[in-house]
Amino acid sequence: MANQFIDTARITVRAGNGGGGAVSFHREKYVAAGGPDGGDGGRGGNIVLRVDPHMSTLMDFRYKRKYTAENGKDGSGKRCSGKDGADLIIKVPRGTVVRDLETKEIIQDMSEEQDFILARGGKGGWGNQHFATPTRQVPRFAKAGLPGQAREVLLELKLLADVGLVGFPNVGKSTLLSVVTRAQPKIANYHFTTLSPNLGVVPMEEGQSFVLADIPGLIEGAAEGVGLGHDFLRHVDRCRLLIHVVDVSGSEGRDPVEDFDTICAELERWSPELASRRMLVAANKVDIMQDPTLLDKLRAHVEAKGCPLYEMSAATHQGTRELMYAAAGELAHLPPVIVFEPTYVERPPEVDTSAPLEIVQDEDGTWLVDGPWLRQLMANVNFSDYESRNWFDKRLREAGVFQQMEDMGVKDGDLVCLYNLEFEYQR
């Protein structure tokens, strides 16, 4: 299907690595070896999500699933820092919920205008200009840049609509949408004409308006993925108000009360909170109604549940304006469209600390510690946070780094250098 609606996508993103610091010396009289002037490496590019109001599906992510930002450039002599890597902007439709692929926790709800940094670029490494001391005037080392963050995420599109039309297939939801808005959904006399949600704006007086969504028809078992329902039930999650369209004509031999209860049961199975949302019932096709008792039974049934019923015919426009006024009146007293709060908690990645590190003591007594897994570990530590620093210290002890240094003769007060971090060793 050429225009198939895509509302979930799995992508992998990787921010740019930081550039390496430079080892360089300039020539200057009376300065040992010319003096260190190696510049720092540039920061790696971030992966940034941006809302594009012109996008309506996640189709773009169907064929491209891996996104990598630019690495930072290496530093150079004369204290010249490397250029930062360019950020990679990924555009998504408004209403896209970003989840961690493994835990399914919400990282961000892209319903506002603000950009969101999904993966941060690695910091650039220090050049040798930073490592000069009164006793170490000729530092012949610099630090590599730290790796950028990598994530696997699930993008999930949840429509931003005030009112959602729900009901069985072929009950007239698309016709109603076309009558009260300028939307032009595909309409035909067979089930599942609507294969993707359609949005339209209902104009009201004094510049007031609201967004109405035609959700594809549900069937029994939709909450378990039967038919089209499971893929599209998520789109009513945000709706402030539901209009339940029921066919009362009897033309297909259906029982309106049974249809109403079946759809409500599917909503309850999908989300009890959603099922408790305010609902209006639209009894459609009254112009061709064959048995008026079907309407009477439905009215008594739904009003007993606290749901007002409105008679209408989408085909002849009968009662449609009254239904929209009722919806607008309900919206005036309902909370705004739901924006999902992030639930994801950043967890340090699992790092294989079994590989040996390179530990050397330079001529002025400073201990230099280096190794690939150490870079990965440090890229995910917030050294301004006390608990994060304690966690980092614990990981180094568990990996035997401190014991190895003590076996090599490290003493209290010795200077230890880990990439861009320097500290005095304390047992």
Structure confidence by residue, pLDDT tens digits, 117-143 = 999 999 998 888 887 777 777 787 788
Residue 427 has pLDDT above 80, yes or no: no
Give how far Cα 391 sits from Cα of 89, 122, 150, 383, 404, Å.
32, 20, 21, 10, 19
Q: What is the CATH number of the domain that holds 125?
A: 2.70.210.12
Residue 284 has pLDDT above 60, yes or no: yes
Identify the domain containing residue 377 by its residue range. Answer: 352-427
pLDDT digits (tens, 9 = 90+) for 194-232: 445 777 888 887 667 898 988 776 554 444 444 444 556
Q: Which of the two residues, 150 and 382, has the higher pLDDT score?
A: 150
Q: Which residue has the tokens 């939801």?
A: 173
| pLDDT at res. 380 | 75
Residue 295 lies in a domain: yes
pLDDT digits (tens, 9 = 90+) for 344-353: 887 766 777 7
Please check whether residues 66 and 133 belong to one and the same domain: yes
pLDDT digits (tens, 9 = 90+) for 157-169: 887 789 989 888 8
Number of domain units in the chain = 3
Q: Which residue has the tokens 């970003």?
A: 98
Q: Stretch 160-189: mean pLDDT, rounded?
A: 78
Q: Stretch 92-107: mean pLDDT, rounded?
A: 93
Residue 342 lies in a domain: no
Please check whether residues 38 and 67 belong to one and the same domain: yes
pLDDT, averaged across the chain: 84
Q: Stretch 58-63: mean pLDDT, rounded?
A: 86
Strands 106-110 and 8-14: unpaired
Q: Which of 43-52, 81-90, 219-228, 340-349 has the lowest mean pLDDT?
A: 219-228
Residue 315 lies in a domain: yes
Query: Exposed e or buried b for every residue in 116-138, given b needs 16+ CB within 10 A?
Result: bebbbbbbbbbbbbbbbeeebeb
| pLDDT at res. 207 | 60
Q: What is the CATH number of the domain that holds 248?
A: 3.40.50.300
The proportion of the chain whose per-residue pLDDT surpasses 90, expressed as a percent, equals 40
Please check whether residues 145 and 170 belong to one and the same domain: no
Residue 109 lies in a domain: yes
Q: Stretch 261-284: mean pLDDT, rounded?
A: 89
| pLDDT at res. 187 | 43
Q: What is the CATH number of the domain that holds 415?
A: 3.30.300.350
Domain boundary, last residue among 299, 331, 363: 331
Residue 347 lies in a domain: no
Q: Stretch 45-55: mean pLDDT, rounded?
A: 92
Residue 144 lies in a domain: yes
Q: Which two tokens stand for residue 95?
A: 């209403």
Please check whether residues 134 and 170 belong to one and the same domain: no
Residue 190 has pLDDT above 60, yes or no: no
Q: Stretch 234-257: mean pLDDT, rounded?
A: 88
Q: Stretch 258-267: mean pLDDT, rounded?
A: 90
Q: Stretch 2-8: mean pLDDT, rounded?
A: 55
Please check whether residues 184 and 327 belong to one and the same domain: yes
